[in-house]
Structure formats: structure tokens, C-alpha cells
Amino acid sequence: MSSAISIMKKFVFFRTILALFFCVSMVAGCTSTHKTIVGEVPYEFTFPKDFLWGAATSSHQVEGNNTNNDWWEWEQTRLPRARSGQACDQWNRFEEDFKLAQALGHTAHRFSIEWSRIEPQEGQWDSSALEHYGQVIRSLRSKGIEPIVTLHHFTLPLWLAHQGGWLSEKTPELFARYVQKVTEALGSDVHYWMTLNEPGVYVYKAYVIGDWPPGVKSPEQAFKVFKNLLLGHVLAYEKIKEAYTRKGWKEPMVGIAQSVLIFRACSDRSLRDRVAARFRHWMFNHLFVQALVRGRAYCLGLFSIHLPKAKTLDFIGLNYYTRDFVLHHGYGFPGILGQACTATVELDRHTGKDNFLSWEIYPKGLHTFLRDFSRYELPLLVSENGLGTDDDTERSEFIIEHLKAVAFAMEEGAPVIGYLYWSLLDNYEWAEGFVPRFGLIGVNYTTQERTVRDSAKKFEEIIRSGKLRF
């Protein structure tokens, strides 16, 4: 009997390995994760006249006093030295901040709606909060700035979090109901909607490694949340489209903000490291988008998800910052995703400088992803790209080098419609608190004084000329 059990275990083990190799080899997006396409770079690149230039923020990171969501609750017990508090007080200062963005030549601004303000209790709607966001949108419009609205940027109302959040089967419908309410109230002045920000990051941080609320470490629950986020997007997409049709408004563009990272094997000589890097590339960078395009997501032996509708993306937002090196860490889940390794594993590795958060500065990766995601034949928006640093000269260089990557990709045919720097302001950076400084505009958190940095002015020069010289 024990011999039969041993044989069965070996069979299951090899079946799992075969399934993983099948996914890595056959699913689009699992080719080399660190190649870039080289070619002639133009001496001067001219961006289209309707190119979207600007910056991004999110509600909890800048508004301040979002006391009714799960992140605020998490901060009080888990992050005693990194509480958001007043943040940038943008709930009260948005007009001042948008005037600065206008003066810097911005033509677009991405921000998020705080669900916990719109629906403070289940089924109860705050009309004053909806009116506030209406004022935010009208303020942007009056300054010639295109509003790009994110509907979920990591935070959940407390009442929903206490019901299980995205783990609950009810949440996709509740999210769609909230989206419908917001769309009907604000949609007449909005063309670009992003339903979700970085769903893969949310699942990984909150349900795989447990660093974010609710602090769960469960592969089974992670897959369930992943599925519910997919369904939530599809239902929200339909609600937005239906509202615009019913109101007779011009058809909107609906997408997501997808976090993308270059993943490279810790050792190019290790087959296991290469498999882990490729599998992580597919899981983190492509799986969610592929599922929304195809209406399904599957990997033999691991999961199978079928959505009620395919092709629920009108554009794709890409949030790009860095690349990671991946070390094989087992054949189960999440071990198959690998773990981060240090840059000293291979002495001949050539890496760029690190930012304040020890993220490598790797502009070529943005070019790689803009080419890579062109396969979906959808408009691409760089929805986040930024540097946390106290060296503003380094920030200027970062922006220029990444814009070169954008220009290079566009020259090769990538359908890029805009570039949004992260962030307009120094802000609350989640578990890292207020220490990282990402802003084009510096913030004194004691006085709330704003200071426009030189990097913002250099960015402005590119925006106003519409040209990038190499």
C-alpha cells in the first residue's frame, strides 16, 4: 500500500511539473523576459499632438483622513510609524495642486475615487462626496487637463472589508453597483476610466505574502480573490458602458492599471531559475490582461476561470518601475513563482543604480513592455512611472531615459497614448510611509507647503515642445 501511495505521489509531482512547464512554454507572454529590441534611435522624436502628458495620484495616498477604509484600520495596529493621517490634504487642496499641474503643462491627470467616502455604509450613498469628486473633475477640465479616473486603488470600505472584502462572492456585484453609482453621477465629464489598480500586486501583497490588509497567506484564497477581481472588472465594465449608452454620452474608454516588472533569472545558467522567472512573468505581467481579453484564464493542473464576457479592455495602463531577479524556490505554489535574489549572486551581472527603495533603475524595461503589450492591439498608457529619491537631478534623468524608451517603442509601432509620472506630489507610500519622495512637487508634511522641483520643470520643457532630443 505504501509503495502504491509513493508511486501516486510521484505521479502527482511530475504531473504538476509538466503542467507548469506547459504553461510557461505555451502561454503567450512567456518568452524571454529581459530581451530588448535594439535598433536605430532617432535623433529627435516628436510626440503626437494629442499625447496625454501628466502625473498620477491615488485617494488614500494624498487626500488625508480616509478613516473609513481598511488601510486606515491597518495603519493603526500594523504601521505605527507609517500612518497616513492628513497625507497631502488634497481633499481640501486639489484646486491648488491642479493649478500647479496646469502651470507645468500637464494635459492629463490620473486620480482615484475613494469608495469608502462614496458608500460609507453598505447601501448608503454620500451625495456630498460624489459632488466633491464632481468638483475635482470639473476643476481639471477647466484647466485643460483630461481626468483619468481609477475606481479601486487598493482600499476598501470598512464595512466591506469586515464582510471578507474581495474574498467574498458578493464583492464583484457590490463593486459593480458602486461603479454604476459613480459613473451615473460623474460620467458626463469623464472619458477614461480605470476599474482596478494593479490587481496582481494587490493579490500578492494582501493574500500571498500578507504584507497588506487583510494580511492573509493562502494560495487558495489568493486565487479566489484573483477570480473575484476579474469578475468585478467585467461587471464594472458593463455598468460603465450601459450608463453611457443610456445617457447618450460619447462612448468611454475603460481599462485597468497593470503593474509590470521585468523578471530575470537569478542565474542564467540555472534552468530552474529561468523557469521561475518566466512563470512569474506570465503570472504577474500577463495573466490578468489575457483573461480580460480572452474571457478565460487557465493553467493545466492549477486553475481554470471562465468569465461572462471577453474583450473588456479598451486600453491598457502599464505601471512600470523596475526589474527583479528571481531565484527558484520550489515546485509548489507560491514557490514556483520564485523569490527575489541579490545582485551579488553572479559577479558578472550588470545592473543599473538603485533608487531609495532599492529598486533598480532600468529604463529598457519600459521599452520591452510597450513592445510586448502591443500584441493585444489596444492603446497603451504609461499610467505610472516614477522614482523615489532625494536627488532631483536623478529624477530628471529618470524621466528623460524612460521617455526615450517610450519614444523608441512608438517609433517601432507601439500604440502609446500617454505618459503619466508617479507622482504629482510627494505622498503616503503605503507601508513605506512618507519617507520615499516620488513627487514632481515636494510636500512639507508639517505645513503642507508645495515646492515645484526642477525635474518638474524639465518635464514641462518636453511636454511643451512635444519633442525629445537624443
Using one digit for the tens of pLDDT, what is the confidence trace for 2-46?
Answer: 444 343 444 334 344 444 444 444 344 444 444 444 445 457 999
Assign 334 a pLDDT band (cuts: 50, 70, 90). low
Assign 347 a pLDDT band (cuts: 50, 70, 90). very low
What amino acid is encoded at 118 in this protein? Answer: I
Nearest-10 crossing angle of helices 392-411, 364-372: 30
pLDDT exceeds cutoff 70 at 306: yes
Element (H, E) at 452: strand 450-452
User: Mean of the pLDDT values across residues 37-56?
Assistant: 82
Residue 51 CA to its chain's centroid (Å): 20
Rounded distance between C-alpha atoms, residue 130 and residue 327, angstroms: 47
Q: Indicate the burial class of 426 (C-beta count within 10 angstroms; 0-12, 13-18, 19 or more).
A: buried
Assign 124 a pLDDT band (cuts: 50, 70, 90). very high
Rounded distance between C-alpha atoms, residue 10 and residue 69, angstroms: 46
User: Mean of the pLDDT values across residues 388-403?
Assistant: 97
End-to-end CA distance of the chain: 71
Three cell numbers, residue 217: 497567506
Q: What total of structural domains would you count in the chain? A: 1
Assign 301 a pLDDT band (cuts: 50, 70, 90). confident
Residue environment code for 136-150, b if the CB has 16+ CB neighbours within 10 A, otherwise e: bbebbeebebbbbbb
pLDDT exceeds cutoff 60 at 126: yes
**Contacts (Cβ under 8 Å, ≥6 apart) of 167:** 207, 216, 221, 224, 225, 228
Q: Among all chains, which residue has been given the C-alpha cell 493621517? A: 85
Provide the residue range defining the domain that includes 178: 2-469
* Predicted pLDDT at 341: 81
pLDDT exceeds cutoff 90 at 169: yes
Three cell numbers, residue 101: 499641474
Residue environment code for 169-208, b if the CB has 16+ CB neighbours within 10 A, otherwise e: eebbebbbbbbbbbbbbbbeebbbbbbbbbbbbbbbbbbb
* Predicted pLDDT at 46: 97
pLDDT exceeds cutoff 80 at 355: no
pLDDT exceeds cutoff 90 at 374: yes
Q: What is the pLDDT of residues 273-285, one digit of tens each?
A: 898 899 899 999 9
β-bridge partners, 197: 257
- Tell me if the bond preceding 334 is cis, omega within 30° of 0: yes
- Give the Cβ contact number of residue 21 at 10 Å: 14
* Predicted pLDDT at 240: 99
* Predicted pLDDT at 275: 87
User: Mean of the pLDDT values across residues 85-96?
Assistant: 98
* Predicted pLDDT at 18: 40
Angle among Cα 399, 204, 198 to the nearest 5 degrees reads 40
Question: What are the start-end ranges of the H helices in 346-440?
Answer: 364-372, 392-411
Rounded distance between C-alpha atoms, residue 423 and residue 441, angstroms: 8
Rounded distance between C-alpha atoms, residue 295 and residue 28, angstroms: 15
User: Mean of the pLDDT values across residues 147-155?
Assistant: 99
Q: What is the pTM of this model?
A: 0.91
> Can you tell me whether residue 135 is helix, strand or coil?
helix
Average pLDDT of the chain is 90
Q: What is the pLDDT of residues 211-267, one digit of tens each?
A: 999 999 999 999 999 999 999 999 999 999 999 999 999 999 999 999 999 999 998
pLDDT exceeds cutoff 60 at 111: yes
* Predicted pLDDT at 338: 66
pLDDT exceeds cutoff 80 at 397: yes
pLDDT exceeds cutoff 60 at 302: yes
CATH code for the domain of 14 = 3.20.20.80
